[in-house]
Structure formats: structure tokens, C-alpha cells
Structure 1
Amino acid sequence: MAKKKNEEYSGESGDDADYGEEPNFDDPEDFVDDVSDEELLGDLLSKRPCETDGMENVVVVDNIPKVAPARQEKLKTVIDKLFSTFGEIVNTYYPLDEEENTKGYAFLEYKNSQNAETAQKQLNNHRLDKSYTFSVNLFTDLAKYENVPEEWEPPKPQPNKIQNDLYNFLLEPDAYDQYCVAAETAPNSVQVQFWQNTLPEPTELESRERFTDTFVKWSPLGTYIVTFHKPGVAIWGGTEFNKINKFPHPGTQFVDFSPCENYLVTYGPLPKNQQNIIIWDIRSGQEKRSFVSENMSSMSMFKWSHDDKYVATMGTNVIHIYETPSFYLLDMKSIKIPQLMSFSWSPTDNIIAYWVAETEQVPAKVALVYIPKRREIRTVNIFNVSDCKIHWQKSGDHLCVKADRYTKKSKKDNDVKYLGPYHTFQIFDMRTKDVPVDSVDIKDLVLAFSWEPVGTKCAIIHGEQSNASISFYEVKKGQQPNLIKKMDKKTCSHLFWSPRGQFIVLANLTMGTFEFVDTNNDFIVMGSGDHFRASEVEWDPTGRYVVTGVSSWKVKEDTGYNMWSFQGRIVRRTMLKNFVQFLWRPRPPSLLTEAQQKEIKKNLKKYYPQFENKDRLRMTRASKELLEKRAQLREQFMEYRNKRIQEWKDQKNRRLQLRNHIDTDTLATEDVEEEIVEFLVKEELTTLE
């Protein structure tokens, strides 16, 4: 038994003996292993932990205040509130020195890398106060900055790139204006067409499918057009409307240009019903400064001075004025104004007009402040005020503040009874020394007020909309406002002045009726018309045409636009499915002085023959084009007719076969016998009981 057991374990007998000698798995002495672990276990090694795991979620915030332990909790609360708007913060670290004071920088870890990248883009160069401006970087960028070469290499010269001619639209010899028409072709897809308002028919310049997701907007001088997309906005310009620049701001809902087109402001939503506001440099595309607003608003919160030197926004009882291009607070402090309600810049001077609400002891006040010296140049107190609206004349010559007021009457028991409302218009003469102020009282309900852009008149709609009155006042330098015309029994709700003055459209956008009035010639009604459901009115920059539009944002059928002359004559009707927007391309101010323009108007009759000859040639050219078009259509028809005649001749043999070789083509009508063949199609039997 022992012998048998030894044989079983010795490998020399039994079943194991069939395998022969035991193999040797050792490597030869000269063997070199050239297979790496990545080739054998690449899928597993890619999942192994790394020292930098999670580092892409970390941002480094530099230039924060250095504070003692007693103030550190407040500092952390402020920074966490600011940075948490971009995502959840899972960890924070504030390094401390030997005295337990913060060192001026901090580390914030987000839940994912997308939140960290967004926070870095939005809050880098964010100004906390007048002394501290954040410098925000991703933690993973530190390695990039560590590997900066010690020797500086000068940049290589780049080849000259021809830029787009952004002002070619001003070189049109006949001064034809351009306009764009937007129509929705699919959800979040809008087609935009660009036209030139030539006569007798407009000329299409460009058509872009899916040009924008929502709508478009021209810059104030007509140089750029902005489009809206999910990642941000883009501006286009030049002869073929090429892309000039893009600004990454996801979810942008509204944009605003500075008056001189140096800066662009984008407004986009943030979590927790907040709004992210970014100011960009248009030419470089650089982000100049960003702000976070607590309240969402569809209107611009930032208001620009006429020369782009300052931009201002309103807070609680304070006006913040930032100077460009640094976008730091002017003189490092804001203007504190108790009970501040609203403000507005002059369109031609660096003057701010604001008004403050009335309290029990202090009346409402309207003030004019000169910037940058912050000097008040005029103030007016108004009693019994519930609301005010500030209206600047486009030329900056006058300012009107419409005050909604109420009267009060005391009773025997000393209770106060409020009657009204009524309205007072405070009119400031900005071009006269000491800025004198005159007032106009209107006891009716005021529906609208509008200045003549160029001139000395203003218009007020007051009374009930179904039976309103329109009062025109003339405001001359050194004189009180004078009522020069009152038009009664008008169904009017809106006023639209020509950009050149003199002509005005009295519109009722509820009923879609329009009246065209010449205010320089005894306020004669030159023409009238209607455009049912029209929701927008647009004057062209020259004051020669008016467009009324029915947008699909308001209704879903019969959308389109009508073009009128300034005299109220229909020029063109255009029906366009899913029409959403019509915009004339703005023009920059004229290079001619006011004296030169007056001289041209004075001698306008001298130019009439020249203009009439141009119009005659244009109509002759149009008639010639019409005749050529008709001749071309006739030629196409004759070609089609001859083709069908030849086809009929080629089928003659087939007709003879079908008609027993009788040539019916040559027979007269009386030689042809007509035979009627009837046959049973179906028979039904019905039993009547």
C-alpha cells in the first residue's frame, strides 16, 4: 500500500505519468520584457485613482480681503453666496497665517467641473468693492502657469486680414434704406431676410435660414445686427452680413448696445430667480465686467451716457456710476439718494435726471445732476405726487417730467378725501441759463406723451381712449409752453413721430387705425387707413415711410406688414406666414451741420427738377423692365405651346389606329357622328313588404 501511494505522488506512475516531464515557465536569461502594463491592463489602469482627481472642480479665488477671525464668518458668507449661484459648493478652504488671519485667497470645490468653469468665467475680475477685485482661476491651470518659458519669444507677425466694410450700406447713391424681416420657420428657428427699399419693388440682399433662435436687433448706428442662440449671442455686419464676433453667455434673453457701439450688455437667467449681466467690448470680444442681479427683468438695467464714458444702474436709494473702460465706480463711491425711484441720462449731455418719492414731511423732488462733478444744476419740488415719468427730447433741448398727482379735500372731521388723478408736466429748458421750468396741467386721464424728435413741439393724448383729445404744445426758448392745436374726438392710444419731425402718426393699436398728420401745415390729416390687429409701427430713418405689422407673437393668422408713405398712402402689402419682426436699419447722425441742413431745406426747390428726372428715368427703367419681363413670359408660353403642338402631331398614327384609320383631325364637326353606348353596371332588387 505504501509503495502504491508513493507512486501516485511521485509522478512516475499512474495518470500523471502520461504528461511526461513537468514544463519550465522561467524566462530565458537574455529575455527582455517589452510589453507595458498599459497594453495589458489599459482599461483597468485608466480607472485607477489619481492625485489630481477632483482638482478640475476646484477654483482658486485670489485678492479677497485679509480679515481677522472675528470677521471671517461674514467674509465666507458673502463669498459663498456669490459663488453658489453657479452650482453647489461641496468644500471650502481659507488658508490662515500665524495670527489666524486669512491670507487673501481661498479654494472652493464645486460638485462638478462645469460649475467650476462657469464660475471662473463669470466671476473673474468681479469687483467686490472699491478695494478688491477677484482673480479667479481653475486649480488645474496652476500647472500651466508653472511651465511658462523663462525666455520670452516675440510673437510672429500675422498676415494682414482684410476686414469687412461695415459702413457700405451708407454709400447707396439714392439713399435707399435697408430693413430686415424675420419669420419663424420652426420652433427655435427664425429665417431673416435683408432687403433694400428700392423702387418700384424692393431688392432682396440676403436670406438666412435658422439665422437666430428668437429674434434680432440692430445696433444704434446700424453697424451690427445681433442674433440669439443657446450658447450666447453673435453680431454680424458687412456687405454679406458676415460674423464679426460672438459672446458666450448661455441663455441670453436680452441685449443692449452702448450709444457709440463700443460695448454690448447681455442679460441671462441664473438659478434662484437671479440674472447674470455681462458687459463686453464689441471689437475685442473681451468681457469687461459682470454683475449678478437679484431680480429678473426683461428691460435694460444699465443706462449709458451719450458718449459711452459712463454706464449707470440703480440700487436701493443709490445710483452706481461706472466709468469706461475700467468699469470701476466713478470716484470709488456711489450717489446716495433717499427715496430714489428712477433716473435717466440726457441723450446729448452727461446729465442725469432723477426723481425721489414723496414722504409725509418732504415733497417729491426732480433733480438734474452734472456728471462727473455730481453737481446739482436744478431741482424742482412737486407736492401730492403718486408717480413720475421722465421724457427727454431726442435733441436734448428739453426735458419733460410727467407727474401723476392727486388733490385732497379736508372734511369737518379732519379726514382727508383724495380726488383726481390729474397730471402736471414739468418742462425744463436745458439750453437756457439756470434751466427755467414751466408747467402744464392736464385734468384728464393722460394716455400718452411724446416729444417731436427734431423741433419744438410735443403731443399729449388725454381723456378716454374711445373719445380722446390730442393737445399739441410748442415749447420755444425763453417762452412758456403754448397750446397750438387741440384735436378732439379721436380714437387714439399711441403717438409715433417721424424721426425728422413735422409728421406724426396717430395710432389706435387696439382697433388698428392710423391717421397721418402734418403738424407744420395747420395739422392737416394727410391720410388715414387701417391694419387690423397691427401691433407695431416703425418709421424709416429718413421719415419717408412707415411700416405697420401684425406679428405672430400676437396672433397666429393673417400675419404680415404694410408699408405706407409718410402721407398715409399704402405703398405695399405683404402677407407672410409666422411673421415676427420688421426692423429698419438705423443710420448714424448726419455729418452736415444744422446750418447746412437748414440751407438745403431752404433751397429745396432748386433740387426738384433733378429729383423729378431721376424719378422719370426710374419709372422708364421700370417700364422697360416690365416690358422685357412680359416678353420673356410670352416667349416661354410660345415655347411651351409649340412643344405641345409637336407632341400632338407625333401622336397622329396612334389616333388613326384607335379610330379605324379615320382622320378625324381633318373632318368637319357636322361630318362626325356621335354615338352613345349604354351598358348595365349593376342591378339591385328591393322587396317591398
Structure 2
Amino acid sequence: MSASTKTSKITQSSVLICDGLPVGIPVASVPKLTLFLKRMVLVKNGAELSDQPNNVQVFVDETSQKTTGIGFIDFKDDEAAIKFKTRFVELKFDNKNTLKFYTKKEIDEILKENDEYTPLVFHPIEVTDFKGWLKEDKYTEGSECVATFQYGKTVSLGWYNPSIPKEITMQEEQPFISSNCSFSPSGTFLYSITEHGLIVVQPDCKKKFQFPHPGLTHVTISPHDTFIATYSATAPFNRHIIVWDRRFTKGIKFFDLKANSLKRMTETLKKEKTLTPIGQDFVQFSYNEKYLARISEVDSNSIEIYTTPTIQLLSNKLVTFESSINKISWSPKANIIVAYHEPLQKTNEQAHFYFYDVDKQEIIFKHKVFSLKGAEFGWHSSGKKLVVQCNKNKKTAVLVFTLDKTITASMNELNATPHFMSVNPIKMQFGIMAYQHSKKGDSLFPTLHIYDISSNETKLISSLPNIEAKSFSYSPNGQFMVVSGISTSEPYLYFYNTDRMKLYKKVPIENMSYICWDPMGLFLGAVRSYLYSPHAKNGFMLYDCFGNLQFETYKTNFAGLLWRPQPTNIIKPEMAKEVESKFNECLKTMKEEDERKKEQIELEKKQRADELMKRFRSVVQKNAQLSAKEHLRAYDSGMKIIVEEIKQKKESNEEVKENITETQ
């Protein structure tokens, strides 16, 4: 292809530049490569190409006469090009190559970016940085902290008061050169992943810290934000994994990975446009940050467990099992780790689940399952239940482990193809979405099954058949559930109550990218991100837990919305017992003091009542004595009057008798 031809093609708005094609293919094989790209990749996925004979071209370097991974695709018009690019942010070419599409404008913006990297100024991290949030008046008033970010530009922190349904007030703007950012698990800092390393911002928004790791792709952070593990498949000196102590921005342990692990990292890696970094397969921290574990690179049948903060191998030995280990998972409330062995396909080998108590350094439970093709883990927040979605041939099995004084297992089978599973964080229940089997094949829409796991038996609570959705999400308080129809032909959000699975509201949405609950579980954000829909009107809508729209807002290049996590307890578990005992002592002392005060108050009331009664009785007695005297005086006066009246009558009668006598 000549230079003039390239320029004329690229400047056309109906042309997309394709990146990700195989590199190093000889020029003789380019026609076959072009034909495969055109027919099996583009036309097969609905690309409306122009009528030009060279509407698909693969660029060949003139010097080496080999492909460079770049191609040019000419669509029939601008609308067809934009439609295809919007539909396919990425498109799989083969098992090794994934295609990405760019417009001429996007290429120009990339070329304008400065390739030079200026390291950030080092600042020591404050150990008490969590108090930075508590100093905010808006936080103490009950407002939620959120972060919104624009694609490749800025991240803005702000506050939202749920009691006042109005737009979020955004304050500080922090330039992050990547859109792959998130809050730490406990919410003590905001971080961003760049190709040079990890950038961390404290809540005061004035200090930034860098954890340099060239080629950084994803990160794992310990539950209390003390340790950070960064991953890079291309790091120099084989430092593929670095474990940092966040308090001192110091790398305290380095791990290298073998070729097969690096391949697995590359295959499972989410690209730069992902909103939630991954990395749980390589390093995992225990719930109290006391231990760090990973699958051994030396022996596939073993795992390595290290103690913190020194990162020393526990007892200077590996933990070895009977079979190779494919996955590990820590309990959220105990130093118990579950190691899972997945059998090879087309074999009758059993799948193994090993429960290993790290404090006792022994296997406390083993369980075997036949004909297993894969497993997805889901812990209940109490650590008393582990739900495992077991994928079998032509059916699904749900395995529930109960961790009590002894560990028990129960299994329920579904005649369905599994699609999605989630565990309620508070209530003892979980849900699984699966496509039901029938003689005519799988159902068109999945069925959502809700199970109760409060006892050792798994009981079906409710089933929602043929619901047009692809996932569902429990609220952090466990009271509500939203079934999401994002990426379906008729997208809706279904708001349910988890007690009786009552449907509150069915809300229509369009071109939404994802949903996210606030930490209290009372509000839900539905986000339309520039990362997934660059040509749509981007922003987010905020609903309450009943499905009522609070407000909606839109912004150019809006990439995402993040809610800052609110830790249930900032006290580490090893200190919790001491704090609890002291609290109980204080509570006991306060109760005793309250009892003494109560007795004293009752005594004072009684004394006051006795005094009042005494005064009342004296007044009554005095009144009674006065009444008796008055009565006697009145009696005497009355008798005197009566005697005088009788005397007068007697005298009158005598006078009458005398007069009669004289007359006679």
C-alpha cells in the first residue's frame, strides 16, 4: 500500500483503523489473512463494508515485508462505521489476537500524547490516613463519598446526601492518566493503575503516592488496606509480583512467575478499559491480614503461605495436597483456606476440595465431586457458608459447605446450564441464574432460583422463570436485590425485596454499562460509560432501593461512578477481643453506677413522699381538731338557743293561763 493511498483512506470518516492483527506474517500470506479477516471476522459479525474491492487492507512493512498488526477497514458510510465500533469495543480474531478499532480522530489524540514519564514527588503516607475522612463535616453528617471519572482525564471526588435527592456536589479534581481506578477495600484511599505503576491518593486529595511497577496490569489490596500486591507480566528482573507495605511505600517481597502462569495472566487480563482491576488468582490475603497465600510455582500440588509483615514462609515449608491445585479462597472470618483441584477434561478424575486451617497447620476437611468441569466460589460474609457453583455435563450442581464445629456438605442439582451466581451478604440465602433444559434445547431466557441456606439443608425459596436478564445484584444490607437486563434486547432493572421476592418496580434503561450499590444498600447507580458507549449520551442515573429515580446527570467523556466503601469496623480482628473486653468492663461499671443512682433516686423519692404524707396527715389532724371544736361550739350555741326558746314558750303559756283564769 502506498503512502498516498494510506493517507486518503485514513482521512475518510467511514474508515476504521484495526489494531491487534497477527504480527510478522509474510507478504505472501497477506491475501489469505485479509480474506479471513473480511469474511470470518467482519462480515460474520455484521460489518457493512463499502463496494470497493480493497475495502479491507492489511498493512505490510516495506522493509521487512511482514505484517505489523495494523489494518484498514472501509465501511459503506459513516453510520455503519460508528455502529460497528460501538457494538464491538473489542473483537476476538483468534486464540492469540484480539482486535480493537479506532477512528482517525482517536489516532491523532494518541499521537499527541507525550511519551515522557515524570515520576511523582514522594510523600510519606500517614498511618492514620483514615481519619482524613472523619474530619470531613459532610461525612459526619451522613453523606456518602463518591468518585466520578472521565476517560483518560480526571477523577473527581464529591459527596452525596441521600436525604436530599439532588445532584452530587463534586469538589477536587485529580488528574489520573488512566480510567482503571477504584477505592481500596476499606475505603482509605483512591488508586489508579497506569503502565508505569500504581498511583494512590489520600482522602485529603492533596498528596499522591506512587508504587512503581513497569507494565502494571492489575492489583490486589489486603482487606484493611495495609498491603498491596501489584502484577506485571513484562516487569524487569522477573519481578512479576511485588508485595508492598502501603504505610512505607516499600516493596517487601518479590515473586516471579513461570511461562504458563504468565500466559494465564495474559489470557485472564482485563484491558485498560476495565473498571475493576483483577488479580485474585495469584496472591490472596487472609481476612485479618495475618497471612498471604498463593499457588506454588515450584510444586503444582502445593500452596505457599507467608506470614505478615515480614512475608516469611510459614514454618519454612510448602503446604502439599494429594492433587494439583487450581484455585484457592480464604474464609472471610477465619484463617481457613480452601484449595480446589479441577480435574482434566475427558477424564474420570475426581474434583477435590481441601479445607486447611492455617493456625493449626492441618487439613480439617476433604470433599470429592465426580464429573466436575469447573467451580465458582461464593462465601457468605459470616464465614459460616461457602456456596460453590459446580458445572457438570448437561446440568448444574450447587454445593453448600457449612462451617460449624464440624464441616458438612450438601448438594442440589439443577437440570439447567449455569449463567450467574451470587450470595446474599447478610441473609442466609443465595441466587443462581440458569437456562432450563428441555427436549427442544435450552430456554431462551434464564430462570432465577433463590435458595435458603440457614440450616444444613438447601431449600428453594422462589423461582423467577423466563426473566430477560443476564445478572443480579444483592444490596449490601441484604434487604434488596436488583435483576439487571443490561446488554439484553429489552433492558430493564427489576427491584425486589429479598424477604418474599416481591417486585417493587420494573425500570426501563437504555445502553447502560453497569450498576453499583451505595455502601448502605439504599441507593443504586446505573452508569452509561464512555468506555463502552463512546458515541452515546454518557452519565448516570441514581435510584433508591424501591426503583424510584432520584436524579440523572450527564457529562462529556463520563467513564464511571465509584462509591467509597464504608468499613463495618476499623478495628482489626486481633484487637477486637481486647477492645470488646474493655468495653464490657466499662459497660458493667456504667450499669452498676446507673443502678446506684437509680437506688439513690428511688430513696430520695420515698423520703420526699413520706415527708409530704406526714405534712398532709398533720394538716388533716389539725383540721379535724378544729372541726370538733367548732362542732362543739355550734352545739352549745344551738342548745342555748333551744333552751331559751322553750323557756320563752313556757313563760308565754303561763301568761295565757293567767289571762284565762282572770277572764273566768
TM-score by length of 2: 0.59
Note closer, same or farther for the CA distance 1:262–1:489 as it changes in structure 2 (3 Å cut).
Answer: same
Q: Which residue of 2 aligns with 1:619?
A: none
One-letter amino acid of the counterpart of residue 252, structure 1: L
Contact 1:465/1:492 (8 A) holds in 2: no
Query: Residue 391 of structure 2 aligns with which residue?
Result: 404
Contact 2:201 2:208 in 1 (8 A): yes
Gaps of 5+ in 1: 1-157, 407-420, 597-689
1:366 corresponds in structure 2 to 353
Give the corresponding residue for 2:153: 190
CA separation in 2, counterparts of 1:286 and 1:273? 17
- Residue by residue over 1:443-486, the C-alpha shift from the partner in whole angstroms, topping out at 9 and shown as x without a partner, is 11111111100011111111157422111111113x41111111
Quick one: which of 256, 267, 270 aligns to 2:234?
270
Determine which of 324, 329, 333 is the counterpart of 1:348.
333
Provide the rounded CA distance (Å) in 1 between the counterparts of 2:515 and 2:293: 30
User: C-alpha distance in 1, partners of 2:564/2:235?
Assistant: 36
Please state whether the residue corresponding to 1:574 is helix, strand or coil: strand
Question: Is 497-506 or 338-347 further displaced after alignment?
Answer: 338-347
Q: Closer, same or farther in 2 for the Cα pair 1:441/1:568, shift >3 Å?
A: same
Q: Are 1:280 and 2:244 matched, yes or no?
A: yes
SS in 1 for 2:187: coil
Q: Where does residue 436 of structure 1 map in the other structure?
A: 408
Aligned pair in 2 of structure 1 residues 170, 403: CA closer, same or farther (>3 Å)?
farther
Change (3 A) 1:532 1:203: closer
Distance 1:591 1:261, change over 3 A: closer
Q: For 1:415-452, what per-residue CA distance to the aligned partner results, in whole angstroms no more than 9, with x for missing partners?
A: xxxxxx2111110111x221121111111111111110
In the TM superposition, residue 253 of structure 1 has moved relative to its aligned partner by 2.5
- C-alpha displacement of 1:169: 6.4
Match of 1:212 among 153, 174, 177: 177
**Cα shift at 1:163:** 7.2
- 1:234 alignment counterpart: 199
The reply on whether 1:493 has 2:453 as its aligned counterpart is: no
Alignment of 1:55-204 (within 5 A): 165-168=131-134, 172-184=139-151, 189-198=152-161, 199-204=164-169
**What secondary structure sits across from 1:543 in the alignment?**
coil
Distance 1:243 1:555 in 2: 33
> Quick one: which amino acid aligns to residue 438 of structure 1?
S
Report if the CA contact (8 A) 1:465-1:493 is conserved: no
Which of 415, 421, 425 matches 1:453?
Answer: 425
Offset at 1:341?
Answer: 1.8
Structure 2 letter corresponding to 1:535: S
2:273 corresponds to which residue? none
Instruction: Give the TM-score normalised by the residue count of structure 1.
Output: 0.56
Per-residue CA distance 1:505-555 (angstroms, 9 max, x = gap):
1112212321000021x2111112122122211000001100111212212
Give the Cα–Cα distance (whole angstroms) in 1 for the partners of residues 480 and 445 of structure 2. Answer: 22
Query: What letter matches 1:531 in structure 2?
Result: I
Change (3 A) 1:533 1:361: closer
1:302 equivalent to 2:267? Answer: no
Give the letter for the 1:201 counterpart. K
Distance in 2, matches of 1:206 and 1:500, equals 28
Distance 1:455 1:161 in 2: 35
Aligned match for 1:581, one of 549, 560, 564: 560
Paired with 2:196 and 2:422, the residues of 1 have a C-alpha distance of: 38
- SS of the counterpart of 1:167? helix
Q: Aligned partners of 1:271 and 1:232: how far apart in 2?
A: 11
* Alpha-carbon distance in structure 1 between the residues aligned to 2:130 and 2:480: 36
CA distance in 2, matches of 1:381, 1:535: 39
Separation in structure 2 between the aligned mates of residue 378 and residue 161 of structure 1, nearest angstrom = 39
CA separation of 1:274/1:467 partners in 2, compared to 1, >3 Å: closer, same or farther?
A: farther
* Distance in 2 (alpha carbons) for counterparts of 1:163 and 1:403: 42
Deviations for 1:140-163, whole angstroms, at most 9, x for unmatched residues? xxxxxxxxxxxxxxxxxx9x9997
Give 1:357 shift. Answer: 2.9
User: Does the residue aligned with 1:166 lie in a helix, a strand or coil?
Assistant: helix
Which residue, out of 365, 370, 386, partners 2:373? 386
Offset of 1:590 from its aligned partner? 4.7
CA shift for structure 1 position 383: 1.1
Partner of 2:568, secondary structure, is coil
1:316-357 per-residue CA deviation (whole Å, 9 max, x = no partner) reads: 332111111111211111122323221111111111112223
Work out the CA distance in 2 between the residues paired with 1:339 and 1:278.
25
Q: Is the 8 A contact 1:234 1:243 kept in 2?
A: no
Helix, strand or coil at the partner of 1:270 = coil
Structure 1 CA distance for aligned equivalents of residues 343 and 230 of structure 2: 34
Counterpart for residue 472 of structure 1: 450
Equivalenced residue count is: 414
In 2 relative to 1, CA 389–162 (structure 1 residues): closer, same or farther, beyond 3 Å?
A: closer
The answer to whether structure 1 residue 534 and structure 2 residue 512 are counterparts is yes
Higher share in helix: 2
1:444 maps to a residue whose letter is A
Cα distance in structure 2, aligned partners of 1:165 and 1:507: 36
One-letter amino acid of the counterpart of residue 260, structure 1? H
Match of 2:219 in 1: 255
* Counterpart in the other structure of 1:377: 364
What's the offset of the Cα at 1:361?
Answer: 6.6
Cα displacement (A) at 1:201: 2.1
Identity of aligned residues (%): 21
Instruction: Show CA shifts across 1:185-204 (max 9, x none).
Output: xxxx4211112112232453
| Aligned equivalent of 2:395, options 411, 422, 432 | 422
Distance 2:507 2:128 in 1: 49
> CA 1:362/1:233 → structure 2, altered by over 3 Å: closer, same or farther?
closer
Q: 1:215 to 1:473 in 2, by over 3 A?
A: same
